[in-house]
A and B are shown apart, each in its own frame.
Chain A
Amino acid sequence: VENVRLLDRLSSRRAAVGTLYLTATHVIFVENGSETRKETWVLHSQISSIEKQATTATGCPLLIRCKNFQVIHLVIPQERDCHDVYLSLIRLARPVKYEELYCFSFNPKLDKEEREQGWKLVDLHEEYNRMGVPNNYWQISDVNRDYGVCDSYPTEIYVPKSATAHIIVGSSKFRSRRRFPALSYYCKGNNASICRSSQPLSGFSARCLEDEQMLQAIRKANPGSDFIYVVDTRPKLNAMANRAAGKGYENEDNYSNIKFQFIGIENIHVMRNSLQKMLEVCELKSPSMSDFLWGLENSGWLKHIKAIMDAGIFIAKAVAEEGVSVLVHCSDGWDRTAQVCSVASLLLDPYYRTMKGFMVLIEKDWVSFGHKFNHRYGNLDGDPKEISPVIDQFIECVWQLMEQFPCAFEFNERFLIHIQHHIYSCQFGNFLCNSQKERRELKIKERTYSLWAHLWKNRADYLNPLYRSDHSQTQGTLQPQIAPCNFLYKFWSGMYNRFEKGLHPRQSVTDYLMAVKEETQQLEEELEVLQERLANLQKSQSGNNKVKSKQQDRSKQFGLYTSNNSLANTPQEYSNDLKSFPSRSPSQGDEDSALILTQDNLKSSDPDLSANSDQESGVEDLSCRSPSGGGCLPSEDSGKDSDEAVFLAG
């Protein structure tokens, strides 16, 4: 569709005219005119909703909201075209079969071996070994070898040594969806552990001997402590309501030596609505400060983030300070339980705060334990009531912690944002399906690529320059404050207003420091060369064998943020009065600033994109990429990638 206008949310005057293409995998908007031919790529799987608005004199507006919080506002001249695009997108954005997803056609041109290597990067077996299990207290159980006991659990499950197969199976029958208590994290130092399960089917009075024995076994696996905490992450009211349906929570009287605790984290429906409300606030056109703060409070989002964090802090404290094991559950034990276990692990173990460790953590607490990625993130067309930003909240918790402990994490904000992006993108197979069982059946590892390998390959982009493995913040348990005035929970504009670069700091401290560190490394190398040369020279004053010294190209390295300054050169709309001022000539001010803005958007996005926005690539190329599913690797952002891009047909 030609002559489509792409509107800038911040300013209706800054609109780009271009052509809209629909391919099997992407929506692509290519700008006309300017020699840059800026392109906007959106994966169909990222589309969260499409809204056709009432036709106006200028055309038919189409609003595309994406799961990575991008909002694309198009105006299509012809109503008919708009309707066609609308219908196509509705179909394309809601695939019904896994095979339609992008990861099955995505080809980063790696050979079979590289792909297999990629999948081996994160190895949970190795991870449990690292934690120190199996040992005297914990063992691998093969009860779930063929997913016979619990189809949403992995095959390899760690349980207390004293828990026999009989106890496990018995306990599983007393738990929702048979998700029996299993090890999530083991603390080598004091034998305390974090276990996870679903709610017990206790109703008002039911008991299960095996389940009671199971909890007993968990307590025994920690000889230093004479009780365990059972943490129900639901609000008490919800848990009590569940009793009427034959579910519920542990009765302290029936289980010996447990301390039972509710931590009120709301359910997926509340969270979905909360995010919705917050995004509405983000989308407000020039909101006042009170509109924004009131909307933020009203959405409850930060309150929910804090609830998850508080639960994680409670558990980390129990494990690290009291040396007491904790069993965590919610209803099914795959949403709140995953959030809370992973936050607690992150606080407890510095390994999870490294890049590799963070991948392992997600793989362990989310992927392997059957977090329903497909349902929660709507990869396939399904029940909209199942969709909820569960892992988004966990990722935000990590970001909030990064803000409080700037040296504690090996990775930076960009790493988190790109992981969030790919949970929705379906470009890699990691997060497909709802369980390990389904993924095995689909042969994900043979047919798709692993995100972790992709991120690992580009790890230089994701490093936190302030991280040092020998720094005090990278050791031991993190102990965040609890009260909001001590631990300032902030609105994460880097995520939720991610595509509005104008709202973000114009100079990135992270990028600056990374560039400095890179330069430092080059200097170290040069220093060595020079010293060697000097030694040679002094030995034989002839010094004929000259080593060509490396030229420092400081300006090139620092180009990253100097280019950001051109964005600094665009004032926002500070006043409406100014527009109508008669003395302003049309050729000045905003016209050229609009140009600067678009150019800068092109550059100032993530560095892995800015380096390779291939401006020459014209429309001709596009035909090569569709409809068979493009060879081009779309980048994390909607700009286009990449030096890895391959044109299958070309």
Chain B
Amino acid sequence: MEFAELIKTPRADNVALHRPFHPAVEGTLCLTGHHLIFSSRRRDNAEELWLLHSNIDSIDKRFVGSLGTIVIRCKDLRIIQLDIPGMEECLNIASSIEALSTLDSVTLMYPFFYRPMFEVLEDGWSSFLLEQEFELLSSVTNEWRLSCVNKEFSVCPSYPPVVIVPKSIDDEALRKVALFRHGGRFPVLSYYHKKNGMAMLRSSQPLTGTNGRRCKEDEKLINATLRSGRRGFVIDTRPLAVAQQARAKGGGFEQEVHYPQWRRIHKYIERFNILQESFIKLVEACNDQSHNMDRWLSKLEASNWLTHIKELLTAACLAAQCIDREGASVLVHGSEGTDSTLQVTSLAQIILDPRCRTIRGFEALVVREWLQAGHPFQQRCAQSAYSNSKQKWEAPVFLLFLECVWQIHRQFPCSFEFNEQFLILLFEHAYASQFGTFLGNNENERAKLKLPQKTMSLWSWVNRPEELSRFQNPLYEANSLVIWPSVAPQSLQLWEGVFLRWNRPSKFLEEAEEERINIIKYNKELQAKVNALRRQLAELETDGEVPEEE
């Protein structure tokens, strides 16, 4: 298919661009296969806006006389307005944008056409391999092994080809366990707590059904992670009633009789469609320009967004507490094990593992616990909060995770190597990107699409020193401790950086960040100068044959 067929009017002049907190700009609008490009004509202050079609969530058009107006709502929550003279031009452009922003085929997406303008220093597609992770693990324990049972994606289509499982469980047993778990997602290692040797596993629900089916291999697998005489916790992200209902459809939960060493805790985390509704309501509240405080607070409350944040953080803290404080192993699952499960396991690692609070470690966490673990990014991020069409599989599951990280970051502003911008970057790229990283729903699909060969990885770009420097937290001081956030409502705040990003003048906050960077930078420069002088002095002093009396 040719993109040109979809572009009825490739160019329009005398278009006015309106954005909040910016004066209107007049310029030329161009449509290409993947971008909407607006360039102002003014010589003195040439300005270009490049917008990926895949970033467009919905568009509206309206006419006053022959002047058409298109309102574009983006997946990164920005809203822009274009005034286009000429009804036909406007209609053509609107329908072109509509067509180009809703392409069905993945292989038509921009990442397949994008050619990087930078030199690739390190291929991000091979930056985070589970094999490397396992190597690190092997240096502290030999109770685990790398299994290739899923190398053809035959045992579990949503798992990566290699997984880490208890050493005592062979591949044959894993195949049996896979049949006992929803979607074949048998329990695998998510995190190993070096401090006390406790493990966090994740899986999907067991298929016990109404007649209480059991699977000896499943029991053996998870029991293999327990120390003798100790118990473990199963954290089920559904309420008990839902878990019980699931039995009617063949699902279920671990019953005490068959798992006597495990204690089950139900911590309810909302399902994806509820989350999407909440997301839409919140964004609507944030775009309400009314001056009424009551209305704002009641809309904020009615969106329930912060409630979901609180629930999620609480569940993650609980999992972390079981591991670190109770010295117990933990198995986390909900129904499919691809959404709330991953939120809990990845957040618990942020709390427990200092490595996950570094840039590299956080990237590894996103790769391991989200991409490789089979979170269906393509389904979940197909539409954002402005979508008009009826939702199918969309949900801000990953965004919620990022926001929880931000909440913890806010409480421990010196313990993270990355800054808020880094989290926002991941949010943007999960929804629309020139990179192939977040395409596909799991490793299986990514392999079929040949993403590593045909597209560029986000990590290849982001890990270049000049990019990395933008995402560094100037206040970072490595903190080797477990960090326990407060989940009290007083401690949680709306993530302005995402939800009010386009609705507030950001200048003052950016200036503050700049100030912080400068203070630290100046300090480091002085430190370096002083050290250099000290060395120079020491050399001079020894050269001068003055006896040292230090």
Residues of chain A touching chain B, judged by Cβ–Cβ distance below 8 Å, are 282, 286-294, 296-297, 300, 302-303, 306, 310, 404-408, 465-466, 468, 471-473, 481-491, 493, 497, 500, 502-507, 509, 512-513, 516-517, 519-520, 523-524, 526-527, 530-531, 533-534, 537-538, 541-544, 546, 549, 558, 561, 565, 568-572, 574-575, 577-578, 581, 583-584, 588-590, 593
Q: A468-B515, A493-B491 are in contact. Are A574 and B321 (CB under 8 A)?
A: yes
Determine the distance from Cα of A592 to Cα of B282 in the docked complex, in whole angstroms: 40
Determine the distance from Cα of A282 to Cα of B488 in the docked complex, in whole angstroms: 10
Specify which chain A residues have a CB less than 8 angstroms from the CB of B317 in the assembled complex: 571-572, 574
CB of A602, distance to nearest CB on chain B (Å): 19
Contact of A534 among B307, B481, B523, B536 (CB under 8 A): B536
Main secondary structure of the interface of B (DSSP, over half): helix
Contact B484 A570 (CB under 8 A): yes
Determine the distance from Cα of A338 to Cα of B307 in the docked complex, in whole angstroms: 38
Closest residue of chain B to A496, judged by CB? B490
Determine the distance from Cα of A527 to Cα of B496 in the docked complex, in whole angstroms: 41
Interface centre among A504, A517, A526, A568 (most CB of B within 10 A): A568
Contact of B490 among A292, A302, A541, A574 (CB under 8 A): A292
CB of A441, distance to nearest CB on chain B (Å): 42
Apart from A407-B515, A537-B537, what are 17 other A-B pairs with CB-CB below 8 Å?
A288-B307, A292-B490, A408-B508, A465-B519, A485-B500, A486-B500, A503-B486, A507-B411, A516-B523, A517-B523, A520-B519, A534-B533, A537-B540, A541-B544, A571-B324, A574-B314, A575-B321
Specify which chain A residues have a CB less than 8 angstroms from the CB of B515 in the assembled complex: 406-407, 466, 468, 471
Contact B541 A537 (CB under 8 A): yes
Specify which chain B residues have a CB less than 8 angstroms from the CB of A489 in the assembled complex: 293
Contact B293 A302 (CB under 8 A): yes
Specify which chain A residues have a CB less than 8 angstroms from the CB of B133 in the assembled complex: none
CB of B281, distance to nearest CB on chain A (Å): 13
Specify which chain A residues have a CB less than 8 angstroms from the CB of B328 in the assembled complex: 583
Specify which chain B residues have a CB less than 8 angstroms from the CB of A542 in the assembled complex: 544, 546
The 10 tightest CB contacts between A and B, nearest first, are A292-B489, A406-B512, A484-B296, A297-B297, A293-B301, A523-B526, A303-B293, A289-B307, A530-B533, A493-B490
Specify which chain B residues have a CB less than 8 angstroms from the CB of A593 in the assembled complex: 325
Residues of chain B touching chain A, judged by Cβ–Cβ distance below 8 Å, are 230-231, 263, 265, 267, 285-294, 296-298, 300-301, 304, 306-307, 309-310, 314-315, 317-318, 320-322, 324-328, 410-415, 475, 477, 479, 481-484, 486-494, 496, 500, 503-505, 508-509, 511-512, 515-516, 519-520, 522-523, 526-527, 529-530, 533-534, 536-537, 540-541, 543-544, 546
Closest residue of chain B to A293, judged by CB? B301
Contact of A558 among B291, B477, B486, B540 (CB under 8 A): B477
Q: A289-B489, A297-B298, A473-B511 are in contact. Are A513 and B326 (CB under 8 A)?
A: no
Contact A543 B544 (CB under 8 A): yes
Contact B489 A572 (CB under 8 A): no
Contact of B486 among A302, A481, A543, A572 (CB under 8 A): A572
Determine the distance from Cα of A512 to Cα of B516 in the docked complex, in whole angstroms: 10
Contact B265 A577 (CB under 8 A): yes
CB of B456, distance to nearest CB on chain A (Å): 35
CB of B349, distance to nearest CB on chain A (Å): 15
Closest residue of chain B to A484, judged by CB? B296
Contact B493 A490 (CB under 8 A): yes
Determine the distance from Cα of A487 to Cα of B549 in the docked complex, in whole angstroms: 61
Contact B540 A543 (CB under 8 A): yes
Contact A568 B484 (CB under 8 A): yes
A-B contacts, 9 listed (Cβ < 8 Å): A289-B301, A300-B294, A473-B508, A505-B412, A507-B412, A523-B527, A534-B533, A572-B484, A584-B326
Q: A512-B414, A526-B530, A568-B484 are in contact. Are A484 and B540 (CB under 8 A)?
A: no
Determine the distance from Cα of A338 to Cα of B294 in the docked complex, in whole angstroms: 25
CB of A553, distance to nearest CB on chain B (Å): 14
Determine the distance from Cα of A255 to Cα of B490 in the docked complex, in whole angstroms: 49
Determine the distance from Cα of A549 to Cα of B328 in the docked complex, in whole angstroms: 51
Specify which chain B residues have a CB less than 8 angstroms from the CB of A406 in the assembled complex: 508-509, 511-512, 515
Interface centre among A302, A575, A589 (most CB of B within 10 A): A575
Contact B293 A506 (CB under 8 A): no
Determine the distance from Cα of A530 to Cα of B500 in the docked complex, in whole angstroms: 49
Q: A406-B512, A509-B475 are in contact. Are A484 and B486 (CB under 8 A)?
A: no
Closest residue of chain B to A288, judged by CB? B307
Contact of B293 among A484, A524, A571 (CB under 8 A): A484
Specify which chain B residues have a CB less than 8 angstroms from the CB of A538 in the assembled complex: 540
Determine the distance from Cα of A486 to Cα of B296 in the docked complex, in whole angstroms: 11
Closest residue of chain A to B305, judged by CB? A289
Contact of B325 among A486, A577, A588 (CB under 8 A): A588
Contact B488 A589 (CB under 8 A): no
Determine the distance from Cα of A568 to Cα of B317 in the docked complex, in whole angstroms: 12
Specify which chain B residues have a CB less than 8 angstroms from the CB of A484 in the assembled complex: 290-293, 296-297
Contact of B289 among A407, A468, A485, A583 (CB under 8 A): A485
Specify which chain B residues have a CB less than 8 angstroms from the CB of A519 in the assembled complex: 523
Contact of A583 among B290, B326, B494, B534 (CB under 8 A): B326
Q: A297-B301, A534-B536, A583-B230 are in contact. Are A561 and B414 (CB under 8 A)?
A: yes
Contact B410 A282 (CB under 8 A): no
Contact A543 B546 (CB under 8 A): yes
Contact of B488 among A302, A490, A503 (CB under 8 A): A503
Specify which chain A residues have a CB less than 8 angstroms from the CB of B509 in the assembled complex: 406
Determine the distance from Cα of A487 to Cα of B512 in the docked complex, in whole angstroms: 16
Determine the distance from Cα of A54 to Cα of B515 in the docked complex, in whole angstroms: 54
Specify which chain A residues have a CB less than 8 angstroms from the CB of B482 in the assembled complex: 568-569
CB of A531, distance to nearest CB on chain B (Å): 7
Specify which chain B residues have a CB less than 8 angstroms from the CB of A488 in the assembled complex: 494, 496, 500, 504
Contact of B512 among A289, A292, A300, A407 (CB under 8 A): A407
CB of A594, distance to nearest CB on chain B (Å): 13
Contact of B540 among A503, A534, A590 (CB under 8 A): A534
CB of A69, distance to nearest CB on chain B (Å): 12
Contact A506 B483 (CB under 8 A): yes
Contact B491 A483 (CB under 8 A): no
Specify which chain A residues have a CB less than 8 angstroms from the CB of B231 in the assembled complex: 581, 583
Specify which chain A residues have a CB less than 8 angstroms from the CB of B493 in the assembled complex: 490
CB of A449, distance to nearest CB on chain B (Å): 34
Closest residue of chain B to A519, judged by CB? B523
CB of A241, distance to nearest CB on chain B (Å): 23
Determine the distance from Cα of A589 to Cα of B511 in the docked complex, in whole angstroms: 43
Specify which chain B residues have a CB less than 8 angstroms from the CB of A527 in the assembled complex: 526, 529-530, 533
Contact A407 B511 (CB under 8 A): yes
Interface centre among B292, B489, B543 (most CB of A within 10 A): B489
Determine the distance from Cα of A407 to Cα of B301 in the docked complex, in whole angstroms: 31
Specify which chain A residues have a CB less than 8 angstroms from the CB of B309 in the assembled complex: 289
Determine the distance from Cα of A292 to Cα of B486 in the docked complex, in whole angstroms: 15
Contact A578 B540 (CB under 8 A): no
Determine the distance from Cα of A520 to Cα of B304 in the docked complex, in whole angstroms: 45
Contact B490 A282 (CB under 8 A): yes
Determine the distance from Cα of A328 to Cα of B479 in the docked complex, in whole angstroms: 53
Contact B533 A565 (CB under 8 A): no
Determine the distance from Cα of A185 to Cα of B489 in the docked complex, in whole angstroms: 40
Determine the distance from Cα of A487 to Cα of B300 in the docked complex, in whole angstroms: 14
Specify which chain A residues have a CB less than 8 angstroms from the CB of B486 in the assembled complex: 502-504, 572
Determine the distance from Cα of A484 to Cα of B291 in the docked complex, in whole angstroms: 6
Determine the distance from Cα of A468 to Cα of B287 in the docked complex, in whole angstroms: 34
Specify which chain B residues have a CB less than 8 angstroms from the CB of A289 in the assembled complex: 301, 304, 306-307, 309-310, 489, 492
Specify which chain A residues have a CB less than 8 angstroms from the CB of B322 in the assembled complex: 578
Determine the distance from Cα of A485 to Cα of B496 in the docked complex, in whole angstroms: 9
Specify which chain B residues have a CB less than 8 angstroms from the CB of A516 in the assembled complex: 519-520, 523
CB of A83, distance to nearest CB on chain B (Å): 34
Determine the distance from Cα of A546 to Cα of B291 in the docked complex, in whole angstroms: 67
CB of A543, distance to nearest CB on chain B (Å): 5
Closest residue of chain B to A514, judged by CB? B519
Specify which chain B residues have a CB less than 8 angstroms from the CB of A507 in the assembled complex: 411-415
CB of B156, distance to nearest CB on chain A (Å): 30
Contact of B326 among A465, A526, A568, A589 (CB under 8 A): A589
Specify which chain B residues have a CB less than 8 angstroms from the CB of A526 in the assembled complex: 530
